[in-house]
Structure 1
Amino acid sequence: MSKLSKKFSGEEKTVAKNYGALVVLQGLNYLLPFLTIPFLERTLGLEKFGLIMFAQALMIFCLVATDFGFNYTATREVADLRVQKKDFSDLYFRVFWAKMILTIITFLILLLLVFSVDRFKEDWEVYILSFGVVIGQSFFPLWFFQGIEKMKLVTITNVIAKSIFVLLIFLFIRSPDDFLKVPIFNSVGFIIAGVISLILSLKYVSWKKPTFSSGRDFYKQSFQAFIANGATTLYTSANVFILGVFGGDILVGVFVSYEKIILACKNVFTPIYQALLPYLSRLKPEKRDFIIKNLIFIVAGIGLMITISLNVFGDQILGFLYNDPLIIEYSYLFKLMSWVALFSGLGMLYMVLYAPVLKKFKTIMKVTIIVGFISLLSCLYFIPDYKINASAIIMFSTELLLCIIAVFLLFRTLTKTKTKENES
């Protein structure tokens, strides 16, 4: 990466370096499951493995609640302050203390859910221990390091912490009876990464008493992003959650075995979008739109290659990674779900990169609410009867719908921008 960055200069070099760091960070997030997920499926068995994955799906809702959209809004605000060479401290502590308060509230809601619903009460330890992931992510100021475009230290921290988690998994998970150790080790890894990253971030700020009232517009935008993230979670995690309620832990295990591979593939694009977000926020419209137009073809090409590869080699991939005949039996669903890599890559180009750059948080919110609501209703209507088949078809259909809407909005916005340029 250092040799590659020499070909660039100035801001482009910064983007290249941060992209490299984000590739490592996201690669770690989605490569490690390729090591741990097959091992856990083989060691714990599909039922206990499915229970762990069901708990993780519940934690995603908790993560959305504690993030409150700050990964979009705060990242952009920090990038703006950096350009203006202003102090980050007020914004930093405004976000930090808001996340701490939200974490406490979310944990109390989780306790209420776990101890009042029989489906959760039976395995309450799994859900409580899994919440350590939420605590770790609340400490982890990824939004801040993205905004100041210094991802190298964060990446190193994550590599160390998550490598410890993988090592603990392989050393101490030996049978289905060890299933409670998985959320413990996972939580420990996230908390270590969060605390270290938090300490590293404090050198860029000085203590300030948070003034929540002065940031009303910021919180309003964050709330819009939060609603959008919540709606996104409805069509990404509610699927697994509802399947677990009506289909049981075994079918969750099968579905998540496919989903983890698909998520790893579709998030190939995430480092690109995360690295470009603060950079594009500073560019003039004509240069910004030029980059976006070129990304359309790049993302479509990569997404199509991934999808074709998963369809052609799907059976071999599943046979290599997993050791359960039920997973192989449903491989046709895996091939259907593989199209998500293409749909999601194109959809995220607008929803995760272009729209946030333009501060179109209300548009993001509206789109994701509509798509999320349709997905949720579909899950509630079809999954009780059709179980895992419905889950896979709904995942495919939802991502396709979101892609169509996002691509339409992307081209409409680009056309409007070009028209304004010609008129001026």
Structure 2
Amino acid sequence: MVPSKNRILIKNVASLGVVQVVNYIFPLLTIPYVSRIIGPEGFGLINYITAFVSYFVLIVYYGFDLTATRKIAVDPDNLAIRSAVFSEVTCARILLFLVTIAGFLICISSVPLLSENVKLSLVLFLTVVSALLTPQYVFQGLQKLPVLSMLTVVKGVVNTSLIFIFVATKEDLLLYASITVFSNFLISLIAILYVIFVIKIKFTFYSISHTISILKEGRLIFFSSIIFSLYTTTNIIILGFFAEATTIGYYTTAVSFIIIVQSVVNIPLSSSLYPYIGKSFSESEENGIVKLRKIVPLVFYFTAAICLGILVLAPFVVLFIYGKSFTGSIISVQILSFLPLISAMSSLMGIQTMLNLRMDNLFLKITSFAACFSLVLNVLMGYYFSYIGTSISYLLTELLICASFYLILKNKGLILFKKENFKFKNVITQVQNMRNM
């Protein structure tokens, strides 16, 4: 490990981690205020519509944050490659965006909850425009994530300020959603202008045939992301068939809280480590595995401590942040409290290892099986146990995926979990070594 590379890695993880923590303080500032205004029913309504919109966001993203990042990270100093990848992704996203418009109009006409709230549905759909513009994969591939994170802080300041100024009553639900959508659009627009004018990436239009070939090339990762949403998003839609908006609010509030924790804990690690480890694997499989073995214990102990804190403090945190009307969310938060740990381990084994070793097919098979398992389990658990059953289903699905990744890698002789690396003495030594490099 070259010292300069370690400094880049530590800088990415540390700066992005700090900025993400600061960034997610903003929702913690606004949620206590907003939750007491719109209540569980308002949160349930917004989150239910957002569940539909998230599918169209995924279509526009098309897994490019993984595939395009991988292409750029192999040779980050090559301006021609950067520009080509950026142009291909942008053309592909424009084509996909046109498809999503037609698809969402069909959903509005056929789904009662969307048709009953047309204005709110259309406002939330504008999130797809932000997905079209955002060039996060460029920042990840070039390991310039602190820049993107600083822009996200700007979004947080704008979003928080506007909410406190304009959202005052339950009737401001549409305005609340509009402010959030506007903030997302603002950060995406600034980010893409930065990419064009500061990083000097040039955009070129590609033919439809070439664009379609790019979409075919990344279809496995795209299908994996869609399948992943079947047990993270579709469970909300399934729950909607058995529960009212308030109950949906209980569940989605718990999930949102866990996602905030996962974002603070996992996103800085995975986003910074992905291009770094990807380059290590491009040098040699052995080099990538060795570096992963050293990283796994650090991530494990860090996320495990966070999860224990959530489990113990859930009753206090939920009542303090959301208010007494969200008491029903406490049990859901406790059930999902260990998701950050499970997700971190799955990311290291699945995204960081299997995808870097081009095990895309195996990755897709595992997530496909888990998605089918989740759909069946969600229907049964949601019907009999409402949102508590949905929470248990989510946890069991994540455990299944994590265990499957571990067994697949073990059968191929790729052992990331070495007992000696988990000894506290060795973990402390590894931390000290990384700090000194």
TM over 0.5: yes
Q: Percent identity?
A: 22
| CA positional deviation for 1:343 | 1.6
- Tell me the equivalent position of 2:145: 151
RMSD: 2.3
Work out whether 1:234 is the aligned partner of 2:230: yes
Match of 1:244 among 232, 235, 240: 240
Q: Secondary structure at the match of 2:9?
A: helix
Q: 1:106 aligns with which of 77, 100, 111?
A: 100
Counterpart-to-counterpart distance in 2, 1:186 and 1:142: 19
- CA 1:342 to 1:102, structure 2 compared with 1: closer, same or farther past 3 Å? same
Residues 192-231 of structure 1 correspond to what in structure 2 (within 5 A)? 192-203=186-197, 204-211=200-207, 213-214=209-210, 218-231=214-227
Deviation at 1:340, TM superposition (A): 1.5
Asked if the contact 1:239/1:391 (under 8 Å) is kept, the reply is yes
Instruction: Flag structure 1 segments of 5+ consecutive residues without an equivalent.
Output: 1-7, 418-424
The range that moved more, 154-163 or 405-414, is 405-414
How big is the shift at 1:270?
2.1
> Which amino acid in 1 is paired with 2:377?
S
Name the CA distance, whole Å, in 2 between partners of 1:26 and 1:101.
31
Whole-Å separation in 2 of the counterparts to 1:363 and 1:27: 34
Q: Please give the residue correspondences for 1:363-374 in structure 2 after superposition, counting only pairs within 5 Å.
A: 363-374=362-373
What is aligned with 1:33? 27
1:335 equivalent in alignment to 2:334:
yes
Distance change (3 Å), C-alpha of 1:43 and 1:129: same
Q: What's 1:162 paired with? A: 156
Does the 8 Å contact 2:79/2:201 carry over to 1? no
CA distance in structure 2 between the aligned counterparts of 1:211 and 1:16, rounded to whole angstroms: 40
- After TM superposition, the structure 1 stretch with the greater mean CA deviation from structure 2, 59-68 or 14-23, is 14-23
Amino acid aligned to 2:270: Y
In 1, Cα distance between equivalents of 2:77 and 2:189: 27
Q: Tell me the distance in 2 between the aligned counterparts of 1:189 and 1:108.
A: 25
- Does 2:261 correspond to 1:265? yes
Equivalent pairs, count: 410
Residue 130 of structure 1: how far off its partner (Å)? 0.6
Deviates more, 1:90-99 or 1:27-36: 27-36
Matched, 1:280 2:277: yes
> Judging changes above 3 Å, is the alpha-carbon distance between structure 1 residues 366 and 141 closer, same or farther for their aligned structure 2 residues?
same
Range moving further from structure 2, 18-27 or 44-53: 18-27
Farther-moved stretch of structure 1 (29-38 vs 390-399): 29-38
Gap change, CA 1:202 and 1:413, over 3 Å in 2: farther
Report the counterpart of residue 3 of structure 1 in structure 2: none
Gap runs ≥5 in structure 2:
417-437
Aligned AA (1:296): V
**AA partner of residue 271 (structure 2):** Q
Q: Is the 8 A contact 1:224 1:361 kept in 2?
A: yes
Could you tell me which amino acid in structure 2 is paired with residue 253 of structure 1? G
Instruction: Tell me the residue number matched to 2:289.
Output: 289
Tell me which amino acid in the other structure corresponds to 2:311: N
Corresponding residue SS for 1:194: helix
Distance 1:187 1:158 in 2: 13
Give 1:121 shift: 0.5
Q: 1:414 Cα deviation (Å)? A: 5.1
CA distance in 2, matches of 1:354, 1:26: 24
Query: Residue 38 of structure 1: CA displacement?
Result: 3.0
Call closer, same or farther: CA 1:333–1:160 in 2, change over 3 Å: closer
Q: Please show how residues 364-403 of structure 1 align to structure 2 within 5 Å.
A: 364-403=363-402
Q: For the residues of structure 2 that align with 1:280 and 1:101, how far apart are their CA atoms?
A: 31
Residue 300 (structure 2) aligns with? 300
1:124: Cα distance to partner? Answer: 1.4
Could you tell me how far apart the structure 1 residues matched to 2:259 and 2:191 are? Answer: 25
Q: Deviations for 1:340-375, whole angstroms, at most 9, x for unmatched residues?
A: 222212111122222222222222211111111211
Alpha-carbon separation, structure 1, partners of 2:23 and 2:375: 27
Query: TM-score by structure 2 length?
Result: 0.87
Query: What secondary structure does 2:309 align onto?
Result: helix
